[in-house]
Chain A
Amino acid sequence: MLIKKPSDISSSEITSKSMYMDRRKFIAGAAATGAAMAAGFYLGNGGFTLETVEAGDKLAGIAKSQFSTSEKPNSLKDITNYNNYYEFSTDKYEPNGLSKSFRTRPWTVSIEGLVAKPRKMDIDDIMKLAPLEERIYRFRCVEGWSMVIPWAGFPLSALMKQAEPLGKAKFVAFESVFAPSQMPGQKRDVLAWPYVEGLRMDEAMHPLSILAVGIYDEVLPNVDGAPLRLVVPWKYGFKGIKAIVKIKFVENMPPTSWSRMAPNEYGFYSNVNPKVDHPRWSQAKERRIGEFFKRETLMFNGYQDQVASLYSGMDLRKNY
């Protein structure tokens, strides 16, 4: 089995403090010298913005993680050229080209709802919120294909804790950007825009749930949801909402884009489950991109040991 031992390692154990400090020093140094590496970091009191951060810019000081799989990651070329991003196109090969000029700066994420400290955060501050970790995760699309992706990001819980959710908050609702002038796919009502997703509070707080800002030590390519996207590796890929602008804490289960479109085909949970078929196709197997033969799909995408307990006592056929 390729699954790591379940654990509740805190982020401080994963990333040494010195490493974290080094990273801060790096950013500070780079910003101070105005080096190209600092491009895009907003200099608070200076009141001016340098050139924007672009996909491909290096991210520094990314720590390894216990939660990474040892499977071989797919190439950046495959990750960026085979991808569902309906805001740009319903074709998996087109979003890469169509998203090239998408603007990811300035970018603000609103954290609101049932929290003690609602706030609007600049993406560059969000990127400094917690030490970045490399998380090499399996990625399983509901369509029956899969990849292994080396994300760079930080636990979603780190951002949530900052906002101090109230006891009443039971779910987290996410919202993508609505920018039809930049996203040609949003000019057609294939889905109701903007894209929305949600997690139950305990799912969102789970250490495997991350907000990704990079892939392969580089700033997240636009096609993969720059500047900020959700990654929940035990769920089907569409739960990983891209280009997030709003995170809202709510009491009731929020609507999610695909289940709103076809509630009999896509549920709120959408956990990877080889035993529960999509009504129109089987979920028992998957084709790993780059492989000829199909693989057996693993329960919870292979993260069963870590997440099965979240759903104990639940009928996963009903709560698909």
Chain B
Amino acid sequence: MPTPKENLIRTLKVVAFLLCLGPASVLTWKFFHDLLGANPIDVITRSTGRWTLTFLLITLGITPLRRLSGMPWLIRFRRMVGLFAFFYGCLHLTTYVWLDKFFDVHDMLHDILKRRFITAGLTAWLLMLPLALTSTTGWIRRLGGKRWQKLHRLIYFSAASGVIHFIWLVKADLKKPLTYGAIWAVLIAYRMILWFTARLKSNKKELAVS
């Protein structure tokens, strides 16, 4: 597929931006129209958490998708989607700090040290933080492409922590967290296969040269 014209990409970016805002808008609208059921705070907490993980996995999916579909220009959307993962992660963290703990620092520290699902969740957010901060073109230049790319592999671990956070918090039904876990595993496996085949090729080349 040929690369779309610049104007089209810009329009698509606006559309994608609005789509990414969708879940937050729907939640807000439902909240003010009393449509979030008996326990709105619980719905907000769960929903923002699920969307954080979803956006992390979409971000991870862009590289395989642009390769497999022959649409390399999809890379132009990756930063935005990744930043939306961080946006929903911040909303999720805010519901915890504000609506669950009401800014009780002592209680939160106790939670972070004692409750492993909180530890995993906070780890996932902390791993996203440097990625969000260095997402600008300026930072890519400052760090250099290779180093920037290495740093941004932290997203694999952030998403993994998110999945573990989800697994550790459910009471009995692991279906949903394991679904996220399976998608994560597929996306990581794709990268590992690429990495191995690339190594094999370079080994062969070396053999051929010698």
Mark A residues whose CB is within 8 Å of B.
74, 77-78, 81-82, 86, 90, 92-93, 143, 145, 188, 190-191, 261-262, 280-282, 287, 289-290, 292-294
Contact = CB atoms under 8 A, between A and B. Distances in A.
27 contacts: A74-B38, A77-B38, A78-B38, A81-B37, A81-B38, A82-B37, A82-B38, A86-B172, A86-B173, A90-B172, A90-B173, A93-B37, A145-B39, A188-B173, A191-B172, A261-B172, A280-B115, A280-B116, A280-B168, A280-B169, A282-B107, A282-B111, A287-B39, A287-B42, A289-B38, A293-B102, A294-B102
A77 B172 CA distance: 26
Contacts of B115: 280-282
B88 interface: no
Which of A77, A261, A289 has its CB near the most chain B CB atoms (within 10 A)? A289
Nearest to B116: A280
B102 A280 contact: no
Given A280-B115, A294-B102, A287 B172 contact: no
B171 A143 contact: yes
Q: What are the 5 A-B residue pairs with the smallest beta carbon separation, nearest first?
A: A82-B38, A90-B173, A78-B38, A289-B38, A190-B173
Q: How large is the interface on B (under 10, 10 to 19, 20 to 34, 35 or more residues)?
A: 10 to 19
Contacts of B37: 81-82, 93
Interface in B96-155: 100, 102, 107, 111, 115-117
Interface in B153-210: 168-169, 171-173, 175
Contacts of A92: 39
Interface string B48-74: 000000000000000000000000000
B41 interface: yes
Contacts of A77: 38
Contacts of A281: 115, 117
Contacts of A90: 171-173, 175
A289 B39 contact: yes
Interface of B: 37-39, 41-42, 100, 102, 107, 111, 115-117, 168-169, 171-173, 175
Given A280-B116, A282-B111, A190 B39 contact: no
A181 B184 CA distance: 34
Contacts of B173: 86, 90, 188, 190
Contact of B38 (A190, A261, A290): A290
Nearest to B117: A280
B120 to A, nearest CB: 11
Given A81-B37, A191-B172, A280-B116, 13 more contacts: A74-B38, A78-B38, A82-B39, A93-B37, A145-B39, A190-B173, A280-B115, A280-B168, A281-B115, A282-B115, A287-B41, A289-B38, A289-B39
Nearest to A82: B38
B28 to A, nearest CB: 17
B82 to A, nearest CB: 29
Contact of B42 (A78, A145, A191, A261): A145
Nearest to A261: B172
B5 to A, nearest CB: 45
Contacts of A261: 172
B27 to A, nearest CB: 15
Contacts of B39: 82, 92, 145, 287, 289
Contacts of B102: 293-294
B45 to A, nearest CB: 11
A305 B169 CA distance: 33
B135 to A, nearest CB: 33
A225 B172 CA distance: 20
Nearest to B101: A294
Nearest to A277: B114
Contacts of A287: 39, 41-42
A81 B39 CA distance: 10
A145 B111 CA distance: 18
A221 B79 CA distance: 50
Contacts of B42: 145, 287
A86 B170 CA distance: 13
Contacts of A86: 172-173
